[in-house]
Amino acid sequence: MESGLRCDFPILARTLYNKYPLVYLDNAATTQKPRMVVEAMRNEYYNVNANVHRGVHFLSQQATDLQEAGRETVRRFLNARSTSEIIFTRGTTESINLVASSFGQAFMHEGDEVIVSEMEHHSNIVPWQLLRERLGIGLRVIPITDDGHLQMEAYEQLFTEHTRLVSVTHVSNVLGTINPVQDIIRIAHAHGVPVLIDGAQSAPHMTVDVQAMDCDFFAFSGHKIYGPTGIGVLYGKENWLEQMPPYMGGGEMIKSVSFDRTTFNDLPYKFEAGTPDYVAVTGLAKALDYVTALGMDRIRDYEHELTQYALQRLGEIPGMRIFGPRQEREAVISFLVGHIHHLDMGTLLDRLGIAVRTGHHCAEPLMHRLGIEGTVRASFSFYNTREEVDALVDGIFRVMKMF
Ligand SMILES: Cc1ncc(COP(=O)(O)O)c(C=O)c1O
């Protein structure tokens, strides 16, 4: 990518421990924010701020227009059919909880089943377990192969007459596996079962077209796609959303309220109780405009090439164990080196200015499947460079010398 692009991200110019230039390789946890995102939010607070959808006054109208323009930007980004299908949430976690709670209430009963996979983030496991406690539903789990792919034949065997929903991640936040979501959805639909796609790790890295994918729900987080924290999106097909009860009650999600009876607002507002984080919506929209202008296909190609380079360089390290697929994978590499504990490796790399994540990455069942406690994880963005990959490899060699 263009070298000047890093200047859009002031934090990338930081030096750590008075010595080391920051090498930020924790993008799967959260991405850094370009100036224009922060500036747009600052501008809104300084010049526009007012509560949305409530006031007749100028500022309130302007803030509402910004929020709704942001919704249209998200619609375009996902190629959803209508802005009624775009619900703002606090992030992927809340989006999945919303579906679990609301879809669960509308369509699930004791004995019904949800299919998830062995590589899910906790946020796509625990909401279903909470529903299991509430309704007595069952959870069925798609197993993975040793190299981190879903076992598609086993998946097909999991369907029963009780299956009500499939909820799987598009991209694994640990293995980088890109799941064949189109096949997953086609098979589920052949059984008359809708599908939720956890897009937390895919939306930042590839073109997402929810109509072409034909998913029923799609969730992603703003902060993982260069936007602010505290804002995320749930896309849902109108047909499902219409039939689902509200997730939370409060202001904005109602048409009329009396002590006897309350009627609910139209989509998408039915699912947006209370004052939304409208400033974060503006930030998210700016971030989506930013990556769209760069080109999602260019981002994917660049990150793919960088990840392949990283796989090759890391492969030169004796005792290196890399988890997940070799070829078709997203910009995430989880690894262990010899007997060095992941926490030691992460802590010592940090002392060299290199930010990686360590631990179970909110995917404990996957760690159990792999027979490990945790990994070191390097995850890349379009603003990372080959020099940073080299710095990581040099850093690992330096750490190895200490053991
Ligand atoms: C695959 C996946 N799903 C869900 C989440 C949860 O995202 P958030 O914490 O932004 O709600 C993450 C975050 O790491 C993730 O990687």
If you measure from the C-alpha of residue 69 to the centroid of ligand 1, how many angstroms do you get, rounded to a whole number? 25
Last residue of a domain, one of 250, 265, 293: 293
pLDDT at 3 exceeding the cut of 90:
no
Q: Give residue 237 CA to ligand 1 midpoint distance, Å.
A: 21
Q: Provide the pairing of β-strand 262-264 with 320-323.
A: unpaired
Whether 301 and 277 share a structural domain: no
Q: What is the mean pLDDT of residues 248-266?
A: 93
Fill in the amino acid letter for 402: M
In terms of DSSP bridges, do strands 320-323 and 332-337 run parallel, antiparallel, or are they unpaired? antiparallel
The pLDDT value given to residue 44? 98
Strand 217-221 to 195-198 pairing: parallel
Contact 249, 112 (CB under 8 A): no
Instruction: Assign 380 a pLDDT band (cuts: 50, 70, 90).
Output: very high
357 lines ligand 1 (CB under 6 A): no
Cβ of 27 below 6 Å from ligand 1: no
Helix axis angle for 126-135 and 92-107, nearest 10°, is 30
Residues 211 and 302 in one domain: no
Pick the atom of ligand 1 nearest to 171's CA: 1
* Mean pLDDT on 272-296: 97
pLDDT at 402: 95
Q: Which of 293, 320, 354 is the last residue of a domain?
A: 293
Which of 30, 89, 92 to mutate to test ligand 1, by most ligand atoms within 8 A of the CB atom? Answer: 92
Which pLDDT belongs to residue 326?
84
Local structure of 221: helix, strand or coil: strand
Ligand 1 contacts CB of residue 177 (under 6 A): no
**Average pLDDT estimate for 229-239:** 98
* pLDDT recorded at residue 328: 87
Q: Would the CB of 200 count as within 6 Å of ligand 1?
A: yes
Q: What is the pLDDT, as a whole number, of residue 117?
A: 98
Q: Specify the CATH number for the domain of residue 315.
A: 3.90.1150.10
The confidence band for 195, taking pLDDT boundaries of 50, 70 and 90, is: very high
Q: Is 275 found in the same domain as 341?
A: no
Over 326-380, what HEC string results?
CCCECCEEEEEECCCCHHHHHHHHHCCCEECEEECCCCHHHHHHHCCCCEEEEEC
Query: Rounded to whole angstroms, how far apart are CA atoms 363 and 367?
Result: 6
* Maximum Cα interatomic distance, the chain, rounded to a whole number of Å: 72
Residue range 78-106: mean pLDDT, rounded: 98
| Residue 56 pLDDT > 80 | yes
Residue 239 pLDDT: 98
Q: Looking at the predicted structure, is the pLDDT value of residue 141 above 80?
A: yes
3-class DSSP state of 9 = coil
Distance CA 112, CA 194 (A): 14
Residue 384 binned pLDDT confidence (cut-offs 50, 70, 90): very high
Specify the number of domains making up the chain: 2
In the predicted model, is pLDDT for residue 108 greater than 90?
A: yes
Please indicate, yes or no, whether residues 377 and 340 belong to a single structural domain of this protein: yes
DSSP letter for 246, please: P
Judgement on whether residues 14 and 158 belong to the same structural domain of the protein: no
The pLDDT score that the predictor gives to residue 349 is 98
pLDDT at 303 over 90: yes
Judge if 251 and 110 occupy the same domain: yes
Same domain, 319 and 277: no
**Same domain, yes or no: 59 and 20:** no
- Sign for the CA dihedral angle at 163, 164, 168, 170 comes to positive
**Is the bond preceding residue 268 a cis peptide, omega within 30 degrees?**
yes
Task: Give the count of beta carbons closer than 10 Å to the beta carbon of residue 110.
Answer: 11
Write down which residue in 278, 293, 308 finishes a domain: 293
CA 346 to chain centre: 23
Among 362, 372, 385, 390, which one carries the catalytic annotation?
Answer: 362
Our answer on whether the CB atom of 91 is closer than 6 Å to any ligand 1 atom is yes
User: How many whole angstroms separate alpha carbon 72 and alpha carbon 86?
Assistant: 9
What is the distance in A from the centroid of ligand 1 to the CA of 81? Answer: 25
Structure tokens at 349: 């790399």
Nearest atom in ligand 1 to the alpha carbon of residue 221 is 10
Residue with tokens 């189109």: 182
- Pocket-testing residue among 88, 89, 221, ligand 1, by greatest number of atoms within 8 A of Cβ: 221
CA of 92 to the centre of ligand 1 (A): 6
State the CATH number of the domain containing residue 205. Answer: 3.40.640.10
Q: What percent of the chain has pLDDT over 90?
A: 97
120 with 160, same domain: the answer is yes
Is the shortest distance between the CB of 198 and ligand 1 below 6 Å? Answer: yes
**Alpha carbon 374 to chain centroid distance?**
20
Residues 151 and 117 reside in one and the same domain:
yes
CA of 122 to the centre of ligand 1 (A): 8
Distance 200 CA to ligand 1 centre (A): 5
Residue 393 lies in domain: 3-30+296-401
Same domain for 191 and 113: yes
Mean pLDDT to the nearest integer, 304-331: 96
Mean pLDDT of the region 330-344: 98
Atom of ligand 1 nearest to the CA of 198: 3
Ligand 1 pocket, residue 84 CB under 6 Å: no
User: Active site includes 362?
Assistant: yes
Does the beta carbon of 173 sit less than 6 angstroms from any atom of ligand 1? yes
Kindly list the distances between the CA atom of residue 248 and the CA atoms of 62, 98, 140, in Å, as whole numbers in the listed order: 26, 9, 28
What are the backbone angles phi and psi of residue 140, rounded to the nearest 5°? Answer: -115, 145
d(CA 353, CA 348): 9
pLDDT of 222 over the 90 cut: yes
Q: What is the pLDDT of residue 118?
A: 98
Beta bridge mates, 236: 217
Which pLDDT score, from 0 to 100, does residue 53 have? Answer: 86
Rg of the Cα atoms in the chain: 22
CA of 203 to the centre of ligand 1 (A): 11
Cα 172-173-177 angle, rounded to 5 deg: 30
Instruction: Kindly report the protein residue whose alpha carbon is nearest to atom 15 of ligand 1.
Output: 200
Mean of pLDDT over the chain: 97
Q: What is the pLDDT of residue 2?
A: 74
Query: Relative to the CA of 123, which ligand 1 atom is closest?
Result: 4
Give yes or no for residue 123 CB within 6 A of ligand 1. Answer: yes
Nearest residue (CA) to ligand 1, atom 7: 92
Cβ 170 under 6 angstroms from ligand 1 = no
Predicted confidence at residue 243, as pLDDT, reads: 98
Q: Write the DSSP string, 265-291.
A: PPTTGGG--S---HHHHHHHHHHHHHH
- Cα 276 to Cα 16, 38, 137, 298, 337: the distances in Å are 36, 18, 32, 33, 45
Are 244 and 328 in the same domain?
no
For residue 229, name the pLDDT band (cuts at 50, 70, 90): very high
pLDDT at 69 over 80: yes
Asked if residue 1 has pLDDT above 90, the reply is: no
Q: How far is the centre of ligand 1, averaged over its atoms, from the C-alpha of 124 (Å)?
A: 9
Question: Is the CB–ligand 1 distance for residue 89 below 6 Å?
Answer: no
